[in-house]
Chains A and B, each alone.
Chain A
Amino acid sequence: MATLPKRIIKETERLVSDPVPGITASPSDDNLRYFEVTIDGPSLSPYANGKFQLELYLPDEYPMCAPKVRFLTKIYHPNIDKLGRICLDVLKDNWSPALQIRTILLSIQALLGAPNPDDPLANDVAQEWKQDEQKAISVAKEWTEKYAVSKD
């Protein structure tokens, strides 16, 4: 396997030595570009108390192109689809090589706190969100309870 770029080594080291509160990211043993990630739901959101699992991969072009990120835990959110794919500008057109894994994960955490049904990826969820926000929030809470809160 090709040697890991210095940038990735440094970012990984810092994620371990100086972790972001409410976020963990650790590289997989057999692929140092592949990370297991958890993000805690923001406290004042329907996702509070949930611990969401994600996976993150740094393609060969990183940092000239954005990391690939996906939710592994089921989540009810207008910008996240059934397969866990995320619609977020900094993961697409607004990516900049000056952004990092940690800033991206923080942006995803912020997205949980501020759903944007006007720029949806999951169309059905966005529709329900716009029609009856209170109901949608309670469904999001239900799903968080069901899939993202550890039972022990």
Chain B
Amino acid sequence: MDGELYESSAEASPVLDVGCFMSEFNDKIYHPWTLKSFIKGKYLSKMPNLQNHLPQVSYDDLLIMLQYKKWQSEEVINSYFDNPDQLLKACGLPFKWQESNNTFDLINNFTCPICCEDYIEPTTVYSLACNHKYCLQCYNSYISNSILSGKLIKCIEPSCALTIPHRDIDRILKVEEPNQLLNSYAKSFINQSTDQFKWCPSTDCVSFTEMIKNYNADDIDEDYESNDISNIPIVSCIERHEFCFNCNFENHLPCPCFVVKLWIKKCQDDSETAHWMDANTHNCPRCETSIEKNGGCNHMTCQKCRHQFCWICLGDWNAHNAGFYTCNKFKDGDTNSKDYEDKKAKESRISLKRYLHFYKRFAIHESSMRGDLLTLKKVHEVTKVYMEDRKNQEKNLSWNDVQFLSDAIRALIIGRKALKWTYCFAFYLKNGNFTEIFESNQDFLSKTVEDLSEIFEKIISKKNRNKVETIMQEKNRIINLSDLIISRKRSLIEGAIVNVNEDLLRFNT
């Protein structure tokens, strides 16, 4: 569904080519693809023109020629008129006078030269114009083995140069999805052109993005420790997952790529220590009842004693709302402990404590994001009910009526992700006057995200008997909070970009 929304999204600037988008904080231009749209757009779209010029050649043969000439249809036409026999030979196609270049035959008493199986009953064998026959099982394993490279596949007989048509490959593989060879070809092409194409790093997402214009791309390099975050190429895929085109990691703004690398490495190295801290269970700070968190919202109410607290710092929730939200700050205090540890041990303890402070917040937002996704799945189900409900009352109802919910879902995820990375950012930040401004921006965003998350949890709560009504009641607040998340996230990142560039915020790596 997200993909469809994307098409109609108003984000595309009118000066851009069809299908192209511009990044949010700089003017990089990119094009999100699916394998299917890519194959159609870059390969198969050349076929009608070829068929017009060479009506005497079959579709299958033209496709082989087109792939052989690396999708340059003009090249195919020129070579054909130049010397058709030479082109046919190079492509592994039989000469024109040969009747058919491929057959699936049902025959009796066949011994396959590859598996040596004796087929007494009728069996289907495949052969090209060379008449080298092999059973379909062998052809199936042979093609499955060869297809990954994406290159044209030849007859099994090594001395034979004939090419198997694309259509036959799909038929032999017995798959419903057509264009198996083109799929492999496109995949291997994308894998080899990493400057131009990147796969979306989200789990289970199989789409990719093409960079059309990456201004000043030389200034950022994965291994070059540049603090300049204004140039980071954040793109999105067709499913609207945002990621960094430079380091091929999820959108990690406001952190520079090299900081992300350091952080991930550190988290891996320290995983054994951080492991004790299970992000999913805590005890109620008042009555010690064990509480499991299953949604995304960090505003917790103990089912037993009704105590309201913050999941992150375990402090009283009211203190967050009323006064200053301080659970994101690490206090360097705790230095006057009277233990007789030597200085070094103390330092290492403080450094571990500091790391855990930030890691904990990073991890909680990450797991909250997963919680949010679960909640949102349920909201989607409620949305369907809501749609049905409204359809009964009025006509001309479209997805636009629930667009605000999809936007809110997206805003929540974007906000959580940005928040998550602000803790990595803060971990590597040197203390200075501007860190406070950064932290208060972080507070603002954090509060808005929690507020929106809370509304969603309220909607899907088991106790809520009229979920649709709650959606209606909260519609305006949902819209306002979503807008607020987007604008607060924007000012947080813009602020970070400006202050890092003016050297007011510095990394300590």
Interfacial residues, chain A to chain B (CB-CB below 8 A): 5-7, 9-10, 61, 63-65, 94, 96-99
- Do the beta carbons of A99 and B115 come within 8 Å of each other? no
Residue of A nearest to B138 (CB): A97
Q: Which residue of B lies closest to A103 (CB)?
A: B158
Give B contacts to A, CB under 8 Å. 113-117, 138, 141-142, 145, 156-158
Secondary structure at the B interface, as helix, strand, loop or mixed, is loop
Q: For residue A7, which residues in chain B have a CB less than 8 angstroms away from its CB?
A: 114-116
A10-B116, A65-B145, A97-B141 given; 12 more Cβ-contact pairs under 8 Å: A6-B115, A7-B115, A64-B141, A64-B142, A64-B145, A94-B158, A97-B114, A97-B156, A98-B113, A98-B114, A98-B156, A98-B157
**Smallest Cβ distance from A45 to chain B, in angstroms?**
25
Give A66 Cβ to nearest chain B Cβ, in Å: 11
B112's nearest neighbour on chain A, judged by CB, is A7
Cβ-closest 10 pairs across A and B: A96-B158, A7-B116, A6-B116, A10-B116, A64-B141, A64-B145, A97-B114, A7-B115, A98-B157, A98-B156
The answer on a CB contact under 8 Å between B115 and A5 is: yes
A61→B144 CA distance, assembly (Å) = 12
Report A-chain residues with C-beta under 8 Å of the C-beta of B157: 96, 98
Q: Decide if the interface of chain A is mainly helix, strand, loop or mixed.
A: loop
In the complex, the chain B residue whose C-beta lies closest to that of A7 is B116
| Chain B residues, CB < 8 A from A10 | 116
Are A98 and B117 touching (Cβ within 8 A)? Answer: no
Contact residues in B for A5 (Cβ distance below 8 Å): 115-116
Closest CB in chain B relative to A4 CB, distance in Å:
11
What's the Cα separation between A98 and B146 when bound, in Å? Answer: 14
Would you give 17 A-B contacts (Cβ < 8 Å), ordered by A?
A5-B115, A5-B116, A6-B116, A7-B115, A7-B116, A9-B116, A63-B115, A94-B158, A96-B157, A97-B138, A97-B141, A97-B142, A98-B113, A98-B114, A98-B156, A98-B158, A99-B158
State whether A6 touches B158 (Cβ < 8 A): no
User: Closest CB-CB distance, B297 to chain A, in whole Å?
Assistant: 51
> Can you name the residue of chain B whose Cβ is closest to the Cβ of A5?
B115
Residue of A nearest to B139 (CB): A97
B117: A residues at CB distance < 8 A = 6
Residues of A within 8 A of B114 (CB): 7, 63, 97-98
In the assembled complex, the Cα of A121 lies from the Cα of B302 at a distance in Å of 68
Q: Which residue of B lies closest to A9 (CB)?
A: B116
Chain A residues near B145 (CB, 8 Å)?
61, 64-65
Which residues on A sit within 8 Å (CB–CB) of B141?
64, 97
Chain A residues within 8 Å of B116, by CB: 5-7, 9-10
Which residues of chain A come closer than 8 Å to B156, judged between CB atoms? Answer: 96-98
- Could you say which residues of chain B place their CB within 8 Å of the CB of A6? 115-117
A5 to B113, CA, bound (A): 13
> Which residue of chain B has its CB nearest to the CB of A63?
B114
A47 to nearest B CB, angstroms? 26
- Report chain B residues within 8 Å CB of A65: 145
A81 CA / B141 CA spacing, docked (Å): 32
- Closest chain-A Cβ to B488's Cβ sits at a distance in Å of 55
How far apart are the CA atoms of A3 and B156 in the complex, in Å?
A: 25
Query: CB-nearest residue of chain A relative to B157?
Result: A98
CA distance A97 to B143 in the complex (A): 11
B154 CB to closest chain A CB, in angstroms?
A: 9
Task: Please give the distance in Å from A104's CB to the nearest CB on chain B.
Answer: 12
Complex interface: chain B residues within 8 A of A64 (CB): 141-142, 145
